[in-house]
Amino acid sequence: MIKVGIVGGTGYTGVELLRLLAAHPQVQLTAITSRKEDGMPVADMFPSLRGHVDLAFATPEKAKLAECDVVFFATPHGVAMAQARELLAAGVKVIDLAADFRLKDPAEFEKWYAMPHSCTDLLEEAVYGLPEVNREAIRKARLIGLPGCYPTSMQLGFAPLLAQGKPLVNEASLIADCKSGVSGAGRKAEVHTLLAEAADNFKAYGVKGHRHLPETTQGLQAIAGGRKVGLTFVPHLVPMIRGIHSTLYATILPEARDTDFQSLYENHFKGEKFVDVMPAGSHPETRSVRASNKLRIAIHRPGGGDLLVILVVEDNLVKGAAGQGVQCMNIMFGIDETAGLMHIPVLP
């Protein structure tokens, strides 16, 4: 059994980790920390876990994280970077769900997250936890920076186009029009995500620049073998709880007009257990992946023209966060990559 600790289990990615890990056949939930809720049974805060999780929150001191095999950080940005070094030194693997180990350039981190990076020495070692792109590196990793929810959908959605030896689309002007459920904003007391504000409503936000942009650009360029990629990313808030729908636009280059994009995508993701390339003409719904680690993609070329429209759906809390974290953990510990992750989506 893999002994797992969780730092910061009071948010949505934390409770989702608990849901997945408590039912994972090869995991023993060992510790969960919260300074504020020290002593409180986890199931008192989340009654959905009554009968499934006996653990109580504990301070980091009491939690003895150093005795775990792996520790997940489901914390605000800045927490993992302060504790990772010590855990790694104690032989504990670390998977951070926040942004601390996503960006390779600490200046970029400081620019977008408005805090200095306090653990730059680990940035090079840290592996970006997107298994469909980085599986081999993850296998050997001690430290994982998990992708953000939007970036997962954008990178996997564009990957087959960019991963070829030469450009197929105009890589300088990709567009990602993304829509997210409200849980993406976290379990924080804020006015703009109240039901009375966000329900029966729709809006864009952060058009000027969103934190997930530099991470996605970095990832897309890596997929493109280092070629420069230009991306416009427009996030929107959807009055629903879970789910991301990314509508991606790419202009086909004249020399690539004859490409069979459906086959390109099917071949690229052949054998992937968590990526489903749907039949041509499909319109994936976010609910078709609700509460599961699946990501579904459909390829369109309206009117047979030069604009590709790629539709991607994922559950932002699973494939976009906790599920991807468990997937990385499975790979890192050499067990079946799908262990504890084969939940059938909940529909309706």
Please state the closest distance from residue 87 (CB atom) to its own copies, in A: 27
Please tell me whether residue 51 binds its own copies under the rule CB under 8 A: yes
SS3 assignment, position 287: helix
Under rule CB under 8 A, which residues in 260-279 are in contact with its own copies?
A: 276, 278
60 in contact with its own copies (CB under 8 A) = no
d(CA 302, CA 289): 25
Which long-range contacts does 132-140 make (Cβ < 8 Å, 24+ apart)? 132/156, 132/159, 132/269, 132/272, 132/274, 132/275, 133/159, 133/219, 133/222, 133/223, 135/331, 138/328, 138/331, 138/332, 139/331, 139/332, 139/334
Q: CB under 8 A: which stretch of 14-22, 80-88, 105-113, 130-138 binds its own copies?
A: 14-22
Decide whether 111 or 283 has the Cβ nearer to its own copies.
283
Kindly state whether residue 47 participates in binding its own copies, applying the rule CB under 8 A.
yes
Instruction: Answer yes or no: 149 catalytic.
Output: yes
Q: Quick check: 15 binds its own copies (CB under 8 A)?
A: yes
For residue 309, list its beta bridge partners.
249, 300
We find the least distance from the C-beta atom of residue 318 to its own copies, in angstroms, to be 10
Task: Give the range of 104-112, 176-184, 221-229, 257-265 binding its own copies by CB under 8 A.
Answer: 176-184
Q: Does 39 bind its own copies (CB under 8 A)?
A: no
Instruction: For the CB of residue 283, give the shortest distance to its own copies in the complex, in Å.
Output: 5
Q: 162 with 220: CB under 8 angstroms?
A: yes
Instruction: Verify binding: residue 19, its own copies, rule CB under 8 A.
Output: yes
Give residues 114-153 in contact with its own copies (rule: CB under 8 A).
Answer: none
CB 157 within 8 A of CB 229: no
What phi and psi, each to the nearest 5 degrees, are found at residue 64?
50, 55
Calculate the CA 180 to chain-centre distance: 13
Nearest partner of 231 among 219, 241, 242, 239, judged by Cα: 219
We find the least distance from the C-beta atom of residue 88 to its own copies, in angstroms, to be 30
236 binds its own copies per the rule CB under 8 A:
yes
Residues whose CB is less than 8 angstroms from the CB of residue 276 and which lie 6 or more positions away in sequence, other chains included = 294, 295, 296, 297
Say how many residues touch its own copies, by CB under 8 A: 89
Judged by beta carbon, residue 82 or residue 194, the one nearer its own copies is 194
Q: For residue 257, state whether it binds its own copies (rule: CB under 8 A).
A: no
Positions annotated as catalytic residues are: 149
